[in-house]
Amino acid sequence: MDLVEVIPNRLHMLRFPIGQAYLWQDGEALTLVDAGNVASAAEIEGAIRSLGLLPERLERIVLTHCHRDHVGAAGELAARWGARVLAHRLDAPVIRGERPVPEPVLLDWEIPLYAHGLTVPEAPPTRVDRELEDGDALDFGDGAYVVHAPGHTDGSIAVHLPQHGVLFTGDSVAAVGPLMLGVFNVDRGRAVESFRRLAALAPSVACFGHGDPLTVDTAAALAEAADEAPA
């Protein structure tokens, strides 16, 4: 796992072989956006300690959607350190293991990438302490807001921190190569609509589920990529 500083003393990316998570600091209080795969808990704890922070100050884990590379370590971290797990109402039953993970509608070029993604171990059933809706306020980042962004999954969300100009897009947007619509969508048309809604927020920092964060000319780059995304 690589630990990458995005905003000094505020935001770090935790990059795994497939996917990534983000650690937000409000002083000593911590929020994790996504949680890597099921084997990531020890690495995440180690990353927190390497920053001189305490894992017991992890207050919440916000899951952007139900896929295994985002949910995996959430249950173990929550059980160990008392953090609350938050996810959208529509993905919560999948995260809890009550419903199967929805199958995406794959384009031909996505098929081998999807097969590679399935090499990540399945996430165990994980409790969800709070089911989220569009517009819900979250108590971190001087005011964080849930943005429902369906298409990748029905319950995909982004998290917007307007006071800091930060947007966590989950897998609705990707930056592996060119900035683009995220892959493996259950509904590509809705995914494009969500991409455009997120771009309209005009963040100065965009953090993706896959690919390096965008910190320069972010709003313009998102707007251009969203306009070019084919439905």
For 113-127, what is each residue's pLDDT tens digit? 889 888 899 999 999
Determine contact, residues 64/32, Cβ cutoff 8 Å. Answer: no
pLDDT digits (tens, 9 = 90+) for 168-227: 999 999 999 899 999 999 999 999 999 999 999 999 999 999 999 999 999 999 999 999
Tell the residue number behind the tokens 């704890």, with chain if given. Answer: 45
Find out whether 65 and 91 touch, Cβ atoms under 8 Å: yes
Q: What are phi and psi of 145, to 5 degrees?
A: -130, 140
- Write down the pLDDT at residue 182: 95
Would you state the structure tokens that stand for residue 121, as one six-digit string?
């171990």
Alpha carbon of 115 to those of 11, 111, 112, 119, 225: distances in Å?
31, 6, 5, 7, 26
pLDDT in tens, 126-147: 999 999 999 999 999 999 999 9
Rg (CA), the chain: 16
CA nearest neighbour of 139 among 77, 202, 59: 59
Amino acid at 72: G
Beta bridge partners of 4: 13
What is the percent of the chain where pLDDT is above 70?
100
Query: Where does residue 177 fall: left (phi above 0), alpha (psi -120 to 50 degrees), or beta otherwise?
Result: left
pLDDT at 177: 86
Answer yes or no: pTM beyond 0.95. Answer: yes
Rounded to the nearest 5 degrees, what angle is found at the Cα of 37, between the Cα atoms of 63 and 62? 15
What does the alpha-carbon distance between residue 33 and residue 158 come to, in Å, rounded to a whole number?
Answer: 10
Question: Residues, the chain, total?
Answer: 231
Give the 3-state secondary structure of residue 61.
strand
Q: If residue 157 lies in a helix (H) or strand (E), which one and from where to where?
A: strand 157-161
